[in-house]
Every structure is written in C-alpha cells, then in structure tokens.
Amino acid sequence: MSRHPEVKWAQRLDKVFITVQLPDSKDSKVNLEPDGVFTFSGSAGSENHHYELKLELFDKVNVEESKVNIGVRSIFCILEKAEKGWWKKLLRGDGKPPHYVKVDWDKWVDEDEDNGTAGLGDMDLGGMDFSKFGDMGGMGGLGGMGGLGGMGGLGDMDMGGMGDDNEFDGSDDDEQEVSKPEKSGDKAESAKAEAEIKGGSSEEKKEAAAAST
C-alpha cells in the first residue's frame, strides 16, 4: 500500500515552491503537467516503503521554466506560474487540503510583501543543482535521478558495516580458542599423576619378580 510523503509549499507572485519531505528517497520520479498536475513517486526507509503523491494545483504552470532538485533529505521544486498572480491556495477545488500538505513558513511571504522582485534572492538554496522539468522528459527522465539521493553510497556503507560485524565475531571466536589450554598448575598436577602411575607400575613389576623367585 502506498503512503503519502509530507509536502510543504510557499509561493511568490510568479512561482510556487513545493518541498516533498522524504529523506534518502530511492527511484524518485517527479512529473509536472501544464494544467497543474504534479505527481511524485519513490521509496524510502529500511523496508523500502512506496510513496506516491498527486496534487492538482490551483492554476496552470510553465513546465519548461519549472525546476526540480532531488536531494538527500527532500525533493525541492520551483514551479513557474503560467500567469503571474497570487494563488488563494495550493490546490484547486473547494475541499480542505490533505493533512500531509502544509505551509512552508520558512519560505513564506505575505502577498502585500511580495512586489514581484523577491524571487529566489531571499532564499538560501544551499548550492542546490536544479534540473528543468522540460529537459527531463517527464517521469521517465527523472527516474534515473534517484541515485542523486546518495542511496548507492549508503548501501555500500551498510554492507561494509556488516563485514565489520563478521570480523568482530571472528575475533570473539579466537579469544575463546585462546582460553582453552590448561593453566600451568593444571599441567603440573597432570605430570605428577602420570609419575605416580608409572611409579606404581614399576613397584608391581618388582613384587611380581620377587614372588617368582
């Protein structure tokens, strides 16, 4: 059964910011249609749970100028509005938004504060590398970007950790083998017992010889 990732959003006069919160996502696929249909799918977690998302945005968007960054902790999208204007909400329709869609207050500005020049200058994008939706060819093109989430490296690290555990297990076995030999005191008692046995047998031989004479 598919799950829904948490989504945060904010806007400017000409843009909409959508952040899909899904750390260490694998096989992330993102698609955007001109009529404002935004879809996402991917897997995450130790059990590779599958996540899906479909958002019917409030208005149309310019796919060619919209951008996406698939990072280790989230998928961040900058969607270019087809027409400049302040959206009343993120999704079309009269119903309440899903519980997993929330306002991104870190990126939010009020309508009266947005004069159309704020753009991305007031945001810290942390050196993100963006790819344009128009250059990706839809979901198929973005499907190959799942590796950017860094999961390949993490997978190798996990396997390396398993190897270390096996090595530690082997060292425990070695320590157990080292503790098996007898102590020096035990060796001395063993030698004494063997001497007594040998001595007793020689005395028996002497008594037997005397009896025969």
DSSP assignment of 155-186: HHHHHHHHHHHHHHHHHHHHHHHHT-SPPHHH
Domain count, the chain: 1
**Both structure tokens of 56:** 């019917």
* pLDDT classification of 12: cutoffs 50, 70, 90: very high
Q: Residue 67 domain-assigned? A: yes
Task: Give the pLDDT confidence score for residue 172 in this predicted structure.
Answer: 44
Q: Residue 31 domain-assigned? A: yes
**Tens-place pLDDT, residues 96-141:** 999 999 999 999 998 888 766 555 545 556 566 777 776 554 433 3
Q: Is the pLDDT of residue 68 over 80?
A: yes
Q: Residue 43 domain-assigned? A: yes
For residue 197, give Cα distances in angstroms to 104, 192, 205.
90, 9, 13
Strand 101-103 relative to strand 6-11: parallel, antiparallel, unpaired? parallel
Q: What is the mean pLDDT of residues 14-38?
A: 95
Task: Give the pLDDT confidence score for residue 130 in this predicted structure.
Answer: 73
- Residue 45 sits in a domain whose CATH number is 2.60.40.790
* pLDDT classification of 87: cutoffs 50, 70, 90: very high
Closest by CA position to 145, among listed 154, 133, 155, 156? 133
Q: Residue 143 domain-assigned? A: no
Q: Residue 12 domain-assigned? A: yes
The average confidence (pLDDT) of the chain is 73
CB 86 within 8 A of CB 114: yes
Q: Residue 147 domain-assigned? A: no
82: containing domain: 6-95
Query: pTM score, two decimals?
Result: 0.60
Question: What is the side-by-side strand order in the sheet with 74-81?
Answer: 101-103, 6-11, 15-21, 74-81, 61-70, 131-132
Q: Residue 32 domain-assigned? A: yes
Q: Residue 17 domain-assigned? A: yes
* pLDDT classification of 198: cutoffs 50, 70, 90: low
